[in-house]
Structure formats: structure tokens, C-alpha cells
A and B are shown apart, each in its own frame.
Chain A
Amino acid sequence: MSVIYSDYNVGAGLSKALEMTPEQVIETIKESGLRGRGGAGFPTGMKWEFARRAEGDERFIICNADEGEPGTFKDRELLRDMTPVLLEGMAIAAWAVGARRGFIYLRGEYRYLLPVVNGAIEEARRAGRLGSLKDGFEFDVEVTLGAGAYVCGEEMALIESLEGVRSGEYRNRPPYPVEKGFINMPTVVNNVETLIKAAKIMAHGSGWFRQYGTEKSTGTKLISVSGDVAQPGVYEIPFGMTIHELLKMVGGLGAKAVQVGGASGICIPSEEFSTRTIAFEDVPTGGSVIVFGPGRDMMEVLENFMEFFCDESCGYCTPCREGNVVLLETVRKIRSGQATRNDVDLALGLCSTMRLASKCGLGQSVPNPFESIMGHFGDEALARAGERR
């Protein structure tokens, strides 16, 4: 079973798309049920349609290859092996939306992939898969290196970084990028995997794609598995797979908990392994799956995550700038045996504020790991601390 690694003749998806009208392309993507693979799972066909309908003199396609979520490395592999298909996906999106220019926002640490990506761009231009693609339709792609901050993977911050503004400054949403994105023009931001899948869907049809996955989460998902497992690496799974099945596949049975979706994802304890599934409607993920073996101290894990967020918060808005520190202090207090139930409750209350009021997805998703890890392992840690006291 494979979508990403299915047989594929480079150029097939693009040729099919160019035979259709942009509206038909959008319709096909909608029928496939494809949702964004960057994490948020926004329906891709709808995103393209919004951008097509928005007012603007120009339109842009941006491929988000910032891959900054801890424990994620699937886009790295895709870029290494499949940039030609990615470029096709971008060209298809451009045709659907009416864009002439595209950018690949490449994570700074992936600089070493530049020759591969640029080589693929050159090759695509020579082969007529970029450049003048059809009468009156031209599309070209350039690569920009990321600014090196986790928050730059967030689409608004990414656009600002492309424009050269300090990340996170001054932009608010709405308006969303599909209405006013890069230089205030309608812009589609899609993950690497999303765009590659779009190309394959054009080649093989939406029905082929829908045979995998669940009703609400169609197709497959690439996941990067790391942590206490026998075979870490990138896997392609159909949506709807249980955590238990997943652990079996990667040699991680016996785990204590699994963090799905990276630092900003949620933590699933062993009791729920056989009931919880990887799917947008259940446990969503941008691709990261971190497995914690029985010996792990989950409060230490949480402390690490919170340190990460304290470092990565851009500091622009109050809840995230100041809130992360309070959460980190709370975890440390627990670990040093000084926390009370009240401290934990306060922190959980603060989580709801951060989720409701932070300006961007970073601050809004910090409560995911905090609440889930604290919810499952907090009492035990408090009790342990109490014993020690």
C-alpha cells in the first residue's frame, strides 16, 4: 500500500491537470478529500479555491519546507527523493489558483539539499515542467532558505520571513494568506507532502486516493518515528491506524506513551494505544511520532518541551511570551517536589487562555502537550513529589 512511493512517471499529474480547467483541478482535489499534511489538516481543494477567488493582481504558491517540528524529518526525505514531483504539485496548484511564481521555503538546516532542489528545478525547466507550461500560463519556482526559527514554519511568519520582516511582527489574521499573503496578494501555503500528494492525485484520480484512510482523513500519511523503538524512520501509513498497530510496525510495543504531532502535539498514554487512531478527527499529526519507553520520566519530557517553547516563542503576544515561562516553572516545581495541586490547576487554567488568545498556532498549541502529559502523568508526579517531601 503506497501513495507517496507508488509508481509514477514524472510529469503525468501535471499533463493531466493542464488538460483540465483550473476549476476541474480544484474539483478533483476536493473529491479526493486531501487535507494539509503540515499539521492543521485544512482541506487543500478549499484552500486553492479561496485563493483562486480572492482579489489580487498576482497570486503565489509557497511550499512550506521548513520542517521545524521536533522529531519530524519526512519532508527532508521527500525533498531528497521527490523534488521533481513536488515541483509538479506546485505547478498544478499554480494552474488551479492562477499563480505565476512559487517559492520553496527551505529549512536553514537543509541547506545541504540546495543542489538537489536547484538541480531538480533546472531539470524541470529544461523538460518544460516549469516555465511556459501552456498558452498564456507560465510558472516558475525559486528557493529561499529559512530564517532558522521554529515559528517561521507557521504560514504567516513564513510569509513575513520571505518578505524580510521580523517574524511574527504586525501581521494579524484575518485576512488569511489565501486572501492577503505574500506582498498582500492571494497566496497558497502548502506542505511538501501535500503538494506531492496533489500531483499523484491528478495522475491517478481521486478515487484511487480515497481507497486509503478514513472518511474524514483520506489517503495516507508520512510519519517520522523516533524515540524508544527498534526501527525508527519514515513510514507511510493509512489514516485510521491505531497507535498499537503503529508501535507494532516500528518495534515499539511496551512503550509508556507516544507523543504524536511533535512538541506541539498530544501525548497518548499506553491505556489508549489500541483505541486512539492517527487521523485528523482523532489524533492529528504533521508527521512526528515520538515513542517513550517505560523508563522515561514524563515530567522531564514535558520540561524539555516547555524549554523548547520558551526558546521558540517569538515573544510578540502576551499569552505565549509570558505564559510559557509560567508553564515551565510549574513543571520544574513539580520535579523539585515543590508544587501543589493548586499550582497545577492554575497552569491548566493558563493553558486554556493560551489556546484561546495566543496570536498564532505556536502559542495556541502549547497546551496540547502540557494538558495531555499533565493530565496523564501529573497526579503520579505530584504524589511522588509528595512522598519525597
Chain B
Amino acid sequence: MAGRLPRRILKETERLLNEPVPGIKALPDEQNARYFHVEVNGPKDSPFEGGCFKLELFLPEDYPMAAPKVRFVTRIYHPNIDKLGRICLDILKDKWSPALQIRTVLLSIQALLSAPNPDDPLANDVAELWKSDEVRAIETAKTWTRLYAFSEGVKS
């Protein structure tokens, strides 16, 4: 890894390991301290309940001035997450503030699973079904969760 790790990243990592967020696991990669292996449990009472979703999170060179790069690795049926796992979340884009943290980003992603927002979509066809036939969309999301995200989850 090029360059010394900023104190900020060390501190954040330390806190993520010592006081983990309930339902979220974030482990730095052994070879690259800017790369995190993340697992998020599907929130209770959401179509993603019972699933364990793998994500990757990378802190770019200019972090925290620039937002971390986050992507779902596990397939997920969600109007704000596309086929490649990219997430439509304002704080990862124009609403990023250098005072935000990895922890707040992951909490926001967890909240997005509880409250999908089909009016600000990234995956267009998913959002369309979500708006026209919510029951069927939720069924599909549940099916996908069973298909792709049922393995051993994070114990909270």
C-alpha cells in the first residue's frame, strides 16, 4: 500500500472493529487497509430480511474529501441498486461531506434496504415494477434474497 495510512482511517477502522454497528460487519482487507469486506444483514420487516449481503467498500486516495466507493457484491432486487451493485445514494455523490464516516455510510445503506425509494431509481425496470405492482416487486425481492443472500448471516 502506497503511503502512510492517515490517522483518520486508522481511527475509523479501530472503532468499526471495537464497536461494530448492529447487523453490519466491516473488515479491512489484509493486504489493503483502504479496502473493506462488508456484510450487511437484511433489515427486519423488509423483503431482504434473513439475507446477508456482501459489499465492497474502498477509500480513495482523497478520502475523506471524496466519498468512499461502495458496491453490492451479492445480487439484490432493489430499485436503487443496479445489476452491477452500484448504489444510488445522495451521500455517496453530491451530498458527501468529509465529516461523514464509513459507519454513517453503512448505516445509510442499511436504511435504504428498509425504505426503497423507487422515485429516485438507478435500476429502472425494478423501480417501474416497484411503482406499478409493489406486491409483485416485493415478492421478487424476497425470492432474490432467498436465492442469493441466504448463507450464514452476521450475528447481531
A binds B: no
* Interface positions of B (Cβ within 8 A of A): none
* Interface positions of A (Cβ within 8 A of B): none
